[in-house]
Amino acid sequence: MEEIEQLLNEQMQIELTSEGKEIEEKFKNIEEEIFNLKLRISISEEQLSELFSKERNERIMRKIDEMEFPKKVTFKEPSNEEELLLQIAEGITKLNENMIMK
């Protein structure tokens, strides 16, 4: 009877050990996923700060100012950030079109 109990205890230890290893592996995978997500968030924050950096916006505005537009093109003062971004995007599109034509 003691042998059976000992064998059962050994079996339980083996099962606990393998279960622990599985949990540890899952935990490592979760840690890796969290690290990768933090890295992506960090990169996205850098890209956003670059997108809205003062120097970049000034370069874009200088390029837009240097472009020759037909007389009918007018710029209106944007009433919100969305309109400003839309105008910048339109300016970049025109800039790209002019560069392609040259």
In tens digits, the chain (102 residues) has pLDDT values of 788 888 778 877 777 777 777 878 888 888 888 888 888 887 777 777 777 777 877 887 888 777 766 555 566 666 777 778 888 888 888 877 777 765
Confidence (pLDDT) at 28: 85
| Alpha helices for 1-102 (secondary structure H) | 2-51, 54-66, 81-101
Q: Tokens 């120097």, residue?
A: 55
> Nearest-CA neighbor of 91 among 67, 70, 72, 71?
67
Q: Any idea what DSSP says for residue 72?
A: T
Task: Tell me the C-alpha distance between 67 and 81, whole Å.
Answer: 23
* Short-list 42, 51, 89, 98, CA closest to 70: 98
Please tell me the number of Cα atoms within 13 Å of 15 on its side-chain side. Answer: 6
